[in-house]
Structure 1
Amino acid sequence: MAKRDYYDVLGVAKGASPEEIKKAYRTKAKELHPDRNKDDPKAEAAFKDVNEAYDCLKDEQKKAAYDRFGHAAFDGGMGAARGGAGGFRGQQDFASAFSDVFDDLFGDFMGGRGGTAGRSRATRGNDLRYNLRISLEEAFKGLQKTVTVPTAVTCGACDGSGAEGGSEPVTCPTCSGMGKVRAQQGFFTVERTCPTCNGLGQTIKNPCKTCHGAGRVEKEKQLSVNIPAGVETGTRIRLAGEGEAGLRGGPTGDLYIFIEVREHALFQREGTNLFCKVPVSMVTAALGGDIEVPTIDGGKARVKIPEGSQAGRQMRLRGKGMPAIRARDVGDMFIELSVETPVNLTGRQKDLLREFEKISAENNPQSSSFFSSVRNFWDSMKG
């Protein structure tokens, strides 16, 4: 069966430029790739025809021979897809051709490979993290805080270029500026970071004596951070461009301030609400009364204890909690009563309590209800 014309296979005219041929090949290879046409048994053969055509037409010498003699130019084992002594060479050419379409299919997903000699020498600096501990009172009010951050800044001696005396980096001879090198292993092309330039694509013959070619130096930097009112543990504040300087003039990273609010001796926080456990005497809980409680703003609030209050009872003070971050809402404060049992009683106090217990059995409804339920439980178990 006669072979199809290579130009027809790629869908280009005979006088097409190398750029047009390469573009047509990539389009066809994407369209006919077996992974995209698993249900089409003819796709693999068509895909091989496209690669064979491109392998010929991308090479100036092969293309000139093909234009003059057609397929007859490669009879006798000279073709890229022939067996014998030319077989391994053909496999290499196919893998090289396939790597071009692999770049298009997966290059964006893998972060790209850069242009021709043009992988950018500049690398973005790292983001930094700073853990900042503040008090609950500071979280309530908000504050300006000055922090000292160890970081890497642009080298002033070489303006971040990494080169001494205004000289410029040169294209890496190992990877030709790509930042990566490829090794052929049969059908596959293995790619790894260039060991000479560490992926930068360029090398410096005369490195800066201050930064030793990195384009940046270690330095502590003081920054003023605005902590808004209402922050809580886990709040993250981003300071754009305040991270590490990039390598060789690359863009600067960001600084992230992570907030941790210390535990408070009086208040427990849940979101915007505050909880405060207040001890009261048995007499106050029984007879009722007024008490003063602290508030997070440093003030006081008077709370009325109802007569007959039980331990654990909560009372709400509206608007006395924490502000919502970057909002006008304010939480509430909850007072929880802790009825305190007196200790170190005198003999007289003990006698009075015993006497009080004898005459107040009917005034303890919870106890009466509980022990009544206990008796019913035991009676049911006996039955």
Structure 2
Amino acid sequence: MSSPQREWFEKDYYAVLGVAETADQKDITKAYRKLARQLHPDANPDDPVAEERFKEVSSAYEVVGDPEKRQQYDEVRRMGPVGANGFGGFGPGGFGGAGGARFEASDLSDLIGNLFTRGRQGGGGPQAASTGPRRGTDIEATLTMTFDDAARGATTTVNVVSDVRCPDCFGSGAAVGTAPLVCPDCNGTGAVAEDQGFFSFSSPCPRCGGRGRIIESPCPTCSGLGSVRRPRQVKVRIPQGVRDGQRIRVKGRGGAGANGGPDGDLYVRVQVEPHPMFGRDGDNLTLTVPVTYPEAALGADVTVPTLSEEPVTIRVPAGTRSGRTFRVRGKGVATPKSTGDLLVTIEIDVPTEVNDEERAALEALAAARTAPSPRSHLEA
């Protein structure tokens, strides 16, 4: 059994998951999965509030989603709430009644934690480092992609360093040719009963450290831990339309689990290199296209590039001002859910140098102009 954390006294995990304290395990799992889908970082990129809520929901489910931990949690909560003045629930004076000893939250957490974990220190060696199946750690890697690859999606590999199952003992922790033995003190349960006054607790078996087994001949490669730290390559499928800074979850490719626990997850954070021509606004592509003054004044058909390498032609009507944006439907970034548009912004190209013939033409145009000055509204 794991020792209770201080948060157990302070947080209502049932409220976090939106279920009643009497809910069965099936309803708790159903509520967790629903919230996890809504709050997962992959569904809410760059949303720190959703990410923090996702962690809170995951922490709650890690406790009440495990029948053994849930039983501990319920027992601890029935002892009474932890308030600003100490531990209450046994009378107006807190723990022990009026005038009795009072405990701050940190003191009480340590006290109860010691009751749950008493005896663990007696089990030396690598087998005492854990108390039952434990999920592997989540790891994170960074992947740099070109703008085009991010838009189209790609399958690639990332380099990570993490715990992996020992290649010699295959995670058992026992030397080749041997096997772990069932602990005779706890009969393989990993826990022994212990009475503590008003309460009866199950604490980790001191002989096997809560694992339920004893390794008499530890594997020399992993020293009996069942895992070693190694560099490795992980294949990752990046979906089309991934955004800069988005995290992609690769389930089960994180650190190795311990004592039969599941492996952790790998989170790949994508960094997208800028494109020399295109920008991105959500799922829309942005593009600035220069046109000449005659094209803007008289109108013209202008060919513009797209990410698909199939150019499109847009009609620039006569009298188009610099800065006007035209929308080309369906030529933006395609994602698994939708496709954006191409937003083309016109920019009138003003020459910095003109030859004699061009100068004469521009002077003739200025002389022929009969429209009011464009600055007439500024005149007093």
**TM range, smaller chain:** 0.5 to 0.7
Deviation string, structure 1 residues 169-204 (Cα, Å, up to 9, x no partner): 898xxxxx89xxxxxxxxxxxxxxxxxx99989996
Q: Pick from 339, 359, 366: which aligns with 2:368?
A: 359
**How many angstroms apart in 1 are the aligned matches of 2:327 and 2:295?**
19
Alignment pair present for 1:338 and 2:347: yes
**How many angstroms apart in 1 are the aligned matches of 2:291 and 2:341?**
21
Q: Pick from 102, 120, 139: which aligns with 2:112?
A: 102
* TM-aligned CA deviation for residue 263 of structure 1: 1.1
**How many angstroms apart in 2 are the aligned matches of 1:28 and 1:334?**
58
Deviation string, structure 1 residues 74-107 (Cα, Å, up to 9, x no partner): xxxxxxxxxxxxxxxxxxxxxxxx8898359xx9
SS of 1:164's partner is coil
SS of 1:162's partner is coil
- Relative distance call for 1:357 and 1:214 in structure 2 (3 A) is same
Alignment pair present for 1:238 and 2:287: no
For the Cα contact (< 8 Å) 2:92–2:98, is it kept in 1?
no
5 Å matches for 1:90-239?
A: 102-103=112-113, 113=117, 120-165=131-176, 166=178, 168=180, 206-239=217-250
Structure 1 match to 2:377: 373
Report % sequence identity. Answer: 33
Deviation string, structure 1 residues 191-245 (Cα, Å, up to 9, x no partner): xxxxxx9998999664322123332123343333222222212322212211111
Please tell me the residue identity of whatever aligns with 2:112: F
Which one has the largest radius of gyration? Answer: 1
**How many angstroms apart in 2 are the aligned matches of 1:305 and 1:99?**
72
Deviation string, structure 1 residues 290-332 (Cα, Å, up to 9, x no partner): 1100011111101111111111111111111112x321x2211
Structure 2 match to 1:274: 285
SS of 1:274's partner is strand
Please tell me the residue identity of whatever aligns with 1:102: I
**How many angstroms apart in 2 are the aligned matches of 1:229 and 1:201?**
47
- Relative distance call for 1:47 and 1:316 in structure 2 (3 A) is same
**How many angstroms apart in 1 are the aligned matches of 2:270 and 2:137?**
20
Structure 1 match to 2:88: 36
My pick for the range that moved more, 232-241 or 216-225, is 216-225
SS of 2:79's partner is helix
Structure 2 match to 1:58: none
SS of 2:288's partner is strand
For the Cα contact (< 8 Å) 1:30–1:101, is it kept in 2?
no
Q: Pick from 308, 311, 336: which aligns with 1:326?
A: 336
Please tell me the residue identity of whatever aligns with 2:341: D
Structure 1 match to 2:205: none
For the Cα contact (< 8 Å) 2:159–2:233, is it kept in 1?
yes
**How many angstroms apart in 1 are the aligned matches of 2:229 and 2:77?**
51
Please tell me the residue identity of whatever aligns with 1:142: G
SS of 1:145's partner is strand
- Relative distance call for 1:35 and 1:319 in structure 2 (3 A) is same
**How many angstroms apart in 1 are the aligned matches of 2:265 and 2:234?**
13
* TM-aligned CA deviation for residue 341 of structure 1: 1.1
Structure 1 match to 2:11: none
SS of 1:285's partner is helix
Deviation string, structure 1 residues 5-64 (Cα, Å, up to 9, x no partner): xxxxxxxxxxxxxxxxxx9xx89992699733598369854796xx9xxxxxxxxxxxxx
For the Cα contact (< 8 Å) 2:136–2:264, is it kept in 1?
yes
How many residues are paired up? 270
User: Over aligned residue pairs, what C-alpha RMSD do you find?
Assistant: 4.3
SS of 1:224's partner is strand
In structure 2, stretches of 5+ residues that fail to align are 1-71, 102-107, 184-189, 192-207
- Relative distance call for 1:216 and 1:103 in structure 2 (3 A) is closer
My pick for the range that moved more, 213-222 or 149-158, is 213-222
- Relative distance call for 1:301 and 1:36 in structure 2 (3 A) is same
**How many angstroms apart in 2 are the aligned matches of 1:218 and 1:32?**
42
Q: TM-score, normalised by structure 1?
A: 0.58
Please tell me the residue identity of whatever aligns with 1:30: M
In structure 1, stretches of 5+ residues that fail to align are 1-22, 52-97, 172-176, 179-196, 377-383
* TM-aligned CA deviation for residue 138 of structure 1: 2.2
- Relative distance call for 1:99 and 1:295 in structure 2 (3 A) is closer
5 Å matches for 1:63-78?
A: none
Please tell me the residue identity of whatever aligns with 1:336: T
5 Å matches for 1:292-311?
A: 292-311=303-322
Please tell me the residue identity of whatever aligns with 1:375: E
For the Cα contact (< 8 Å) 2:174–2:217, is it kept in 1?
yes
Please tell me the residue identity of whatever aligns with 1:284: E
- Relative distance call for 1:374 and 1:205 in structure 2 (3 A) is same
For the Cα contact (< 8 Å) 1:142–1:230, is it kept in 2?
yes
- Relative distance call for 1:373 and 1:320 in structure 2 (3 A) is same
For the Cα contact (< 8 Å) 1:216–1:248, is it kept in 2?
no
Please tell me the residue identity of whatever aligns with 1:36: G
Please tell me the residue identity of whatever aligns with 2:289: V
- Relative distance call for 1:164 and 1:285 in structure 2 (3 A) is same
- Relative distance call for 1:122 and 1:99 in structure 2 (3 A) is same
5 Å matches for 1:247-286?
A: 247=258, 249-286=260-297
